[in-house]
Amino acid sequence: MPASPSTARAINDRLALRLLQQEGPLTAGQLKQLTGLSRPTVADLVERLAAAGLIDVVGESGEQRRGPNAKLYGIVADQAHLAALDVRTEGVSVVVADLLGRVLAEASTPIGGETETGPAVEQAVALVERTAKEAGVAALHTVAIGAPGLIDPATGELRDSGGLPAWHRRLVLALQERLPETRVHVENETNLAALAEQREGVARDRETFVLLWLGHGTGAAVILDGVLRRGASGGTGEIGFLPVPGTAGLPSAVDCAGGFHSLAGSAGIVRLAEEFGLAVAGGGDVDEAGRGSAGLVRGVVGAADVVRRAVAATDSVPEAVAAHEESRFLDVLADRLAVGVASVVAVLDPGCVVLGGEVGQAGGTELAARVERRVRRMSPLATEVRAGLLGGEAVLRGALLTARDQAQDALFAPRQSAIQRRRPGGGQGPSSPPPGPSLRVSTHGDPKKD
């Protein structure tokens, strides 16, 4: 059945807007070429989108400097403003951007573990408001938050999780109360990292892959056939709770110590480095939760730093030097990671596993190659192991991409026609064509992850 004229217009408008988002400013002729639409249809949609305030003339083509065909049309970037938050166990980072995702201001603040819930929430909310003010933004259209923990697949809310600060969950409610006209969306940090790696990082060519987050803690995001898989309770990929050999015990329902987290979390990596006599940045003790006298410096920063230095040292010596301590450290770390990766591969057969987070980025292709060789020996399923490109910044970048997608979906949705369709009984009803396709967004992770 052919689409009605109003539905066809809505589809064409969405297609043109997506092209302007992906390609940047375009002329009417370029839109005609990329969409395959006729010249009159393109002229109509350009006029329609400009009248709605969605696009505007932003310049002229370098090839044609005269006439209407030279006009370059672009999305009106200041039509809406966005904020993205990366909520960690010990602090918050914020970026404010326009509708095209261009960053206008950014800031971060530490929040100590001893801070009470109320003051911690106020610190985080005030940071968002202050950063928006510095960007010259009066109102935020959409806020996307990346946080550790489980996201309820039915409600989209951050669930209570053992080991996480109480202010994390309260922050979402506080932002909704303080910014009642703003759309507030929360996603698990590991899923946002996977979204960023798929859109802008090392997984751009993959529709199916698993991202293994290696930061303060561990987690996984599972994307199969282009769709994030959350599971019945939102807990797909809680790999920190995976029982593995080589730990002191078994994980419990409220604590992943004793699971894969104990081997691959930052605290476990720091201890492993010390066993090989490698110096770790920072001082003081660190516990399984990553807390202690040196906090995250001793945890994720120290783990990433020692892995990075071990890779650099290994690159500088002949491969035949088997007793090289840095190389032996990387071998044992690769053994540990391969246990988790092989478990994922045996169940999901994703074909590709990305080592994400600060530690995954620090290990680079050297650590990824060592893990891949071990997985190849452990599994008959061919699996490529890649090092993430975005590291710890992937969460914030994924949150910004999510905020942009959601704002654009809302703003680019077909507008209600002024012409009302008369229903059979004499009533009036709007002609409402279905919205065009929206970009996929992911969610998911581990309560010990930072």
Quote the CA–CA distance of 89 and 187 in Å, as a whole number. Answer: 15
Tracing tokens 């004793």 back to the chain, one arrives at 258
Quote the CA–CA distance of 175 and 183 in Å, as a whole number. Answer: 9
Quote the CA–CA distance of 449 and 14 in Å, as a whole number. Answer: 38
C-alpha distances in Å from residue 179, one per residue of 139, 141, 167, 173 = 9, 9, 17, 10
Q: What is the reported pLDDT for 449?
A: 47
Per-residue model confidence as pLDDT tens digits over 123-170: 999 999 999 999 999 999 999 999 988 888 888 888 766 667 889 889
Quote the CA–CA distance of 296 and 306 in Å, as a whole number. Answer: 14
Tokens of 447: 């309560």
Per-residue model confidence as pLDDT tens digits over 33-66: 999 999 999 999 999 999 989 999 998 876 555 5
Q: What is the reported pLDDT for 446?
A: 42
Quote the CA–CA distance of 325 and 276 in Å, as a whole number. Answer: 6
C-alpha distances in Å from residue 221, one per residue of 218, 262, 272 = 11, 19, 26
pTM over the 0.95 mark: no
Nearest to 305 by CA among 278, 335, 332: 278
pLDDT in tens, the chain (450 residues): 677 888 888 889 989 998 998 899 999 999 999 999 999 999 999 999 999 899 999 988 765 555 666 899 999 999 999 999 999 888 999 999 999 999 999 999 999 878 899 999 999 999 999 999 999 999 999 999 999 888 888 888 887 666 678 898 899 999 999 999 999 999 999 999 999 999 999 999 999 999 999 998 899 999 999 999 988 888 899 999 999 988 888 988 888 888 999 999 999 999 999 999 998 986 444 455 444 334 444 578 899 999 999 999 988 766 555 448 999 999 999 999 999 999 999 999 999 999 999 999 999 999 999 999 999 999 999 999 999 999 999 999 999 999 999 998 888 876 543 333 333 333 333 333 333 333 333 333 344 444
Contact 176, 186 (CB under 8 A): no
Contact 359, 214 (CB under 8 A): yes
DSSP assignment of 171-239: HHHHHHHH-TTSEEEEEEHHHHHHHHHHHHSTTTT-SSEEEEEESSSEEEEEEETTEE---TTS-TT-G
Tell me whether strands 142-147 and 183-188 are parallel, antiparallel or unpaired. Answer: parallel
Tokens of 196: 């960023």
Q: What is the reported pLDDT for 425?
A: 38
Per-residue model confidence as pLDDT tens digits over 373-408: 999 999 999 999 999 999 999 999 999 999 999 998
Q: What is the reported pLDDT for 21?
A: 87
